[in-house]
Amino acid sequence: MNLIIDIGNSSSKVAIFKGKEIVKYKTFDKITLPNILPFTNDFDISASIISSVIEIDNRIQAVISYFNSLILTHNTALPILSNYKTPKTLGKDRLAAIVGANNKFLNRDILVIDAGSCITFDYFTNGNYSGGRISPGIQMRYDALHTFTAKLPQINFSNKHFMIGNDTNSSIIAGVQQGVLDEVDEGITTFIKENPESIVIVCGGSHKFFEKHLKNSIFADPLIVLKGLNIILEFNAKK
């Protein structure tokens, strides 16, 4: 059994894999050894990998030491080619998502959109990871409007959605949420036009919002990063 841990900015996803199948999954607010041990009690963990977009502190290090985890870094061997010029600064979750998507859709051009704290676009074309985009996520846009203006209220992301607002709150919701939909739809349309027969995958905490409201056809797979990490772990075990 493989223990897979994806540590994000706001939460962390943990899964146990048997082969390529997820047999247990949970989201944690924080990764600590006392949290993880009960999650793994009923399983014989033979290998583990950790991807983190935050600094690895003592609590995370305790998990790494206990499970002898592989830490995904820019030096970790990957089953794909990458043209990224600064691999050391590339978000490891972005790379893992591309690995998972490529494994699921072999020999296809792929765009992975991760809708989390930030919204990232990652492109896999002609058999290579070629880079992507990073922009503020939905909640970050709401926070910025409140923080950097004198009177606009704090709005939190919800299921409400407006094309046009008729008061300040609904106008902010329309501006943020419809604005981000227009941005993402345009990015998808351009990619598909330039790469016919390509695949678009959306993951991340806000994936349901995009799955519901985007005009373009997409595949929603919120666990694609975990699947990619499992593939990377298996790939390194064979080296």
Enzyme catalytic residues: 93
Q: Are 201 and 113 in contact (CB under 8 A)?
A: yes
What distance in Å separates the CA atoms of residue 32 and residue 9, rounded to the nearest whole number?
15
What distance in Å separates the CA atoms of residue 7 and residue 2, rounded to the nearest whole number?
16
Task: Let me know the angle formed at the C-alpha of 160 by 155 and 164, rounded to the nearest 5 degrees.
Answer: 85
Concatenated DSSP letters for 135-150?
EE-HHHHHHHHHHTSS
User: 6: buried, middle or exposed (CB in 10 Å: 19+, 13-18, 0-12)?
Assistant: buried
Element (H, E) at 22: strand 21-28
Per-residue tokens: 18: 């048997």
Residues contacting residue 220 through CB under 8 Å, at least 6 positions apart:
201, 202, 203, 207, 208, 210, 211
Element (H, E) at 123: strand 118-125
Dihedral angle over CA of 225, 228, 230, 235, nearest 10: -160
